[in-house]
Structure 1
Amino acid sequence: MEFERKNSELLAILFDLDNTLIATRKADAKACKKLSQTLTEKYTIPLETSSQICNSYLKAFRECPDNPDMELDTWREYLWSQALGDQYHTFSESIYQEWLNLRYHFLALTPEITVLLQNLRQHYFVGLITNGPSNAQWEKVERLKLKSFFDIILVSGDLPWEKPHHKIFHEACDYLGVEPHHCIMVGDKLETDILGGIKAQLGGTVWTPLNNCKLQETDPKPDFVIEYVTELPSLLPRIKRVPGFRNNIVRGLNRFTVTDMDDCNSNSSDGS
């Protein structure tokens, strides 16, 4: 069933970021696996120990990717220092930089995703809504050069709400000047992306399950399920948006500022 058979008109597509457009969990695992080899070859750390160090770091990083009391780089270097232990902690600064470079190498948008977003934006408003700490998520946006693909980017760490709260979806709709029933949400998490789209009464939700997850009876029910996000065009109405349809947006990409930041266990990244 295509979207056009469920709703009369689709104007906007809202995407999740982590594990939907970028393979965050896989990329982080690949970066740590590659780095463990570097720890052995460059820093002469035994292979078994280097693997344990990288696994320890990744576990701590996923549990708390940001600390509002520290600069982002300082926090991550601290986590590496803890993982490296007393014997190797002096390498923490250089190892952190090597991990960061590897991470963004593996996080980069694939050519297929790049083409998908470019093509969609010729016909629809395209937005990004991601849960997570502000600095950590905006670092991804900047390093991956994502701004050119979206009409709006919302990071929950900048706002009073996170997915699945309906207001974060309505914030995007209001910004784009479209009604919620003319939008769809695409994401990998049932409990945030799909449930949030349902709560916001969007026109549809599209689930891209991570690791072949199956729907359970008590799960929020998406309207559509696709294995890969690149399959999305097969659901969409084949309409040609008139030139200048995006002109009603008078603001540029907006990074919201919220002074009342939660601790690192709240607004946890969609990547974890």
Structure 2
Amino acid sequence: MGDGGVKAILFDLDNTLIDTAGASRAAILEVTELLKTRFDDEHVVGDICERFNMKLLQESFQPSRDLTIDQVRIGHWDQAIREAGGKGPDSAVAARCYWTWKNTRLTLLSIPEPFRNLLLDLRGTLKLLLLTNGEVQTQREKIQAVGCEGLFDAIVVGGDHAEEKPALSIFHHCFQVLGVGPKDCVMVGDSLGTDILGGINAGVRATVWVNGTGTASPDVSIKPDYTVPSVLDLPSVLACLNHSVDRSGMRSI
């Protein structure tokens, strides 16, 4: 699979190799059951969870000696409870919500066995690098939970660097770590705005958008070279690259 100039593959983590979205939904359901033992109004319970999810999406965490990511997210739950009108909120309830959510999510995360076998097979001929955006502790905990350290030649967490995907600097760092050039690499990920755009701007050989839901592209201005429903379709992409270097159009496998 390493023929045709491809020497390395950069993989995204969340919702590319692991179902973070699914695990997060299941974790919220666990918290919902917990909150029902505290609050009688199911609408309030639902509102609390929706508010937490929104705060998570809007989160902008800056590392601090005084505040950890765990404390920040306990604060999200505390604020969500107060804003939703939950009576008698206290830090203990917010902390229980957070640890239930976090531990449930980490427990449910895994790299499916077929994905793991594919990575092992690819690593026999190619260099593999895991490139994931996010806060360092959070992403490292996911990586440890799914036990994927041995599947990659290198792991790069965006939170460890001044810039994350789609910034050129972090892609250049990855190329340097692997000892390859942009045209030696394929970028694989589920996010058009970070994985695919970053790969295009960095000049990689090809970008592969993992569109597991089959939905239409939310941004037609970002055009991946290949669109696949799963990383398991990657061998077909590599086979195409071995026979063609034409990047003139978006292709689906």
TM over 0.5: yes
Q: Place the TM-score, normalised by the shorter chain, in its bin.
A: 0.7 to 0.9
Equivalent position of 1:88 in the other structure: 89
Question: Residue 75 in 1 paired to residue 67 in 2?
Answer: no
- What is the aligned-residue RMSD (CA, Å)? 2.4
Post-superposition Cα deviations, 1:13-36, rounded to whole Å, max 9, x if no partner, equal: 101112211222232122102321
Superposed displacement of residue 107, structure 1: 2.5
Give the conservation status (yes or no) of the 8 Å contact 1:14–1:186: yes
Question: Residue 235 in 1 paired to residue 231 in 2?
Answer: no
> Structure 1: where are the runs of 5+ without partners?
239-272
3-state SS of the aligned residue for 1:162? coil
**Structure 1's 98 and 156: CA in aligned 2 closer, same or farther, altered over 3 A?**
same
Q: Alignment length, in residue pairs? A: 233
Equivalent position of 1:59 in the other structure: 54
Post-superposition Cα deviations, 1:122-164, rounded to whole Å, max 9, x if no partner, equal: 2211111122222322222223322122111112221122222
> Structure 2: where are the runs of 5+ without partners?
241-253
Post-superposition Cα deviations, 1:187-228, rounded to whole Å, max 9, x if no partner, equal: 112222112111211111101125433247842221111011
Question: Residue 123 in 1 paired to residue 120 in 2?
Answer: no
Describe how 1:17-166 pairs up with structure 2 within 5 A.
Answer: 17-40=13-36, 42-43=37-38, 45-64=40-59, 66-69=61-64, 70-85=67-82, 87-89=88-90, 90-166=92-168
> Among the aligned pairs, what percent are the same residue?
34
- Aligned partners of 1:130 and 1:180: how far apart in 2? 18
**Structure 1's 94 and 173: CA in aligned 2 closer, same or farther, altered over 3 A?**
same
Give the conservation status (yes or no) of the 8 Å contact 2:212–2:228: no
Give the conservation status (yes or no) of the 8 Å contact 1:194–1:206: yes
TM-score, normalised relative to structure 2: 0.82
- Aligned partners of 1:159 and 1:125: how far apart in 2? 21
Q: Specify which structure has the bigger relative contact order, considering alpha-carbon pairs within 8 angstroms and separated by 6 or more residues.
A: 1
TM-score, normalised relative to structure 1: 0.76
- Aligned partners of 1:142 and 1:65: how far apart in 2? 23
Superposed displacement of residue 47, structure 1: 3.2
Superposed displacement of residue 93, structure 1: 1.9
**Structure 1's 38 and 230: CA in aligned 2 closer, same or farther, altered over 3 A?**
farther
- Aligned partners of 1:45 and 1:22: how far apart in 2? 35
- Aligned partners of 2:81 and 2:39: how far apart in 1? 13
